[in-house]
Structure 1
Amino acid sequence: MIVLPAAVFTWLGMVLAISFLEAPLKFRAPGVTLRLGLGIGRVVFAALNRVEVALLVVVAIALAVGPRTPVLIGMAVAVAVVLGVQLGLVRPALNRRSDRVLAGSDADVEAPRSRHHLVYIALEIVKVVLLGALGATALATIA
C-alpha cells in the first residue's frame, strides 16, 4: 500500500522545509524583527503541527489496514512519541516565552534562546531520522 510511504515522505518533506529551511531563513529577511519572526513562526508551526497530527492519523490507519511489520509499528510509535513530547511538553514552554516577547518584554527579546528551543530542534532531528527510516522501510515492505 503506497499510502504509508506517501504520507511519511510528505510529512518528512514538510518538516524539512519548515523547520530547517523556512524557520531559520525568515529571521535573515530584511526588516524581520524577532517579534515579527516569532509571530509568523507561531502561525506556521501551528499549521504544521495540525498537518503532522493528520498525517500521523493517516500513518496509523495505513498500518491498521495494510501490510505492517513490528519494525514499522515501532518506528511509527516512536515518531508519535516524539511528536507528542514536542506538542505536549516543549511547545507550551516555547509559547510562554514567545508570548512574553510578543507582549513586548524587552528582557525576553535580548535573552538567548531557551533550552526548550534546543530540545525542540533536537527532537526535530530525531523525528526527521525516524520519518526517513519509516518511509524507507515502508517502501521496502511494499516492494
Structure 2
Amino acid sequence: MNAAPAAVATAAVFIWLGMVLAISFLETPLKFRAPGVDIPVGLGIGRIVFRALNRVEIVLALIALASVVMARPSASVAGLTAASVVILAGQLIAIRPRLNRRTDRVLAGQHHSRSSMHVYYVGLEAGKVLALAALGVSLLVAV
C-alpha cells in the first residue's frame, strides 16, 4: 500500500470510529438521564446531533474511500472500507428518514409505541464500529 494515502485513510477511519463511539454509544444514552430532559427534548437534541454526525461521517467516509483507493488496498482493506460505507449509506437512506418521521410525530404530540427502527439503527451502528475498528487496524498493519 502507498504510505501517504494509507496514513490519511487511517486517520479518517479512527476519527470516524471515535465520533461514532462517543455520540452513539455515550452521548445518546446518557442525555436521557440528565435532569429535565424528557423524550421530546432528547429527540430534538438527538436530531440535531445526529444530523451533524452524519454529515461529518459522510465527509470522513469520502476521505477514507478516496485514500484507500489511492493506496492500492488489499482485498481485506477494500472489503472493510466497502462494508463501512455501505452500512453508513443504509443508515442514511433506509433508516434515518423513518426515524425522522417518527420523531416528527412524537414532537407533534402523537405518542406511538416503540419503534424497531432504533434497534436496526443500533445494530448497524455496532456493525459499523466493528468494521471501522477492523479497517483501522488493517490499515495500520498494512503500512
| Percent of aligned positions that are identical | 52
Which AA in structure 2 matches 1:135?
Answer: G
Aligned to 1:50: 55
Q: When the two structures are aligned, how many residues end up with a matched partner? A: 138
- Indicate if the aligned counterparts of 1:15 and 1:128 stay in contact, CA closer than 8 A: yes
Aligned to 1:78: 83
The DSSP-based 3-state class of the residue aligned with 1:84 is helix
Q: TM (normalized to structure 2)?
A: 0.93
Deviation per CA, 1:111-132, whole angstroms, max 9, x where unpaired? 2x31100000000000000000
Structure 1: tracts of 5 or more residues without a match: none
Q: TM (normalized to structure 1)?
A: 0.93
Q: Give the superposition deviation at 1:104.
A: 1.6
Which AA in structure 2 matches 1:131?
Answer: L
Which AA in structure 2 matches 1:54?
Answer: V
4+ residue runs over 2 A deviation:
none
Q: Give the superposition deviation at 1:37.
A: 0.3
Find the partner of 1:40 among 45, 53, 62: 45
- Indicate if the aligned counterparts of 1:67 and 1:141 stay in contact, CA closer than 8 A: no
Which AA in structure 1 matches 2:81?
Answer: A
Find the partner of 1:90 among 95, 99, 102: 95
Which AA in structure 2 matches 1:141?
Answer: A
Q: Give the superposition deviation at 1:135.
A: 0.1
Whether 2:11 is the aligned partner of 1:6: answer yes
The DSSP-based 3-state class of the residue aligned with 1:31 is coil
Q: Give the superposition deviation at 1:76.
A: 0.6
